[in-house]
Amino acid sequence: MTDILNRDNTAKLPSPPAEANEETWELRLYVAGQSAKSVTAFANLRALCERYLPGKYEIEIVDLLQKPQLARGDQIVAIPTLVRKLPEPIRKIVGDLSNTEKTLVGLQLRPRAW
């Protein structure tokens, strides 16, 4: 937490949503089976995308129980983890995405200032 607060915010993009408008968001959610946290995360992500990125997002669900070898590629340690593949750069959000504000900040849909 302290790291986030201390981070230098001056270099951030002024309006990421504007940029986001131009392309499709490729999101990947890593889960492990139908665990409660995974289900919650997916539901939260779905709601958030419908509201902030209507019509221009793709969510890919990767179940590591099915395809464990995929965990290496995106360096997945924690479950659930949301990975923003596009737009670049890659962002990761760990957790069940229950805090919408934080999730938006993590996805850079909202400036990191509060």
Partner 1 sequence: MTDVARGEEVGRTNGIAGQELAKSATGIQGLDEITGGGLPTGRATLMCGSAGCGKTLLSLEFLVLGAVEFGENGVLLAFEETAEELSQNVRSLGFDLDQLIEDGKLVVDYVHIDRSEIDETGEYDLEGLFIRLADAIDRVGAKRVVLDTIESLFSGLSNDAILRSELRRLFRWLKERGVTAIITGERGEKSLTRQGLEEYVSDCVILLDHRVSDQLSTRRLRVVKYRGSTHGTNEYPFLIDQFGISVLPITSLGLKHGVTNERISTGVSGLDAMLGGKGVYRASSILISGTAGTGKTTVSAHFADAACRRGERCLYFAFEESPNQIVRNMRSVGIDLQQWVDRGLLMIHSSRPSMYGLETHLTTMYREARAFNPRLVMMDPITSFLRSDGGADAEAMLVRMIDFLKGCEITSVFTSLTGGGSALDQSEVGVSSLIDTWLVVKEIEQQGERNRGLYVIKSRGMSHSEQIREFLLTDEGVQLKDAYIGPGGVLTGSARLAQEAREEAAKVKRQEDIERKQRSLERKRQVMDAQIATLRAEFEAEEQEAQRMLAEDQRREERLEEDKEDMARSRKADPQPQKAQEPT
Q: Which residues bind partner 1 (CB under 8 A)?
A: 1, 3-4, 30, 32, 35, 37, 40-41, 44, 64-65, 68-69, 71-72, 75-81, 89-99, 102-103, 105-106
Contact (Cβ atoms closer than 8 angstroms) between residue 95 and residue 41: yes
Q: How far is the CB of 39 from partner 1 (least distance, A)?
A: 12
Specify the residue, 55 or 62, whose C-beta has the smaller distance to partner 1. Answer: 62
Residue 45: CB atoms within 10 A of its CB come to 22
Specify the residue, 49 or 79, whose C-beta has the smaller distance to partner 1. Answer: 79
Q: For residue 65, what are the contacts with CB-CB under 8 A and spacing of at least 6?
A: 32, 33
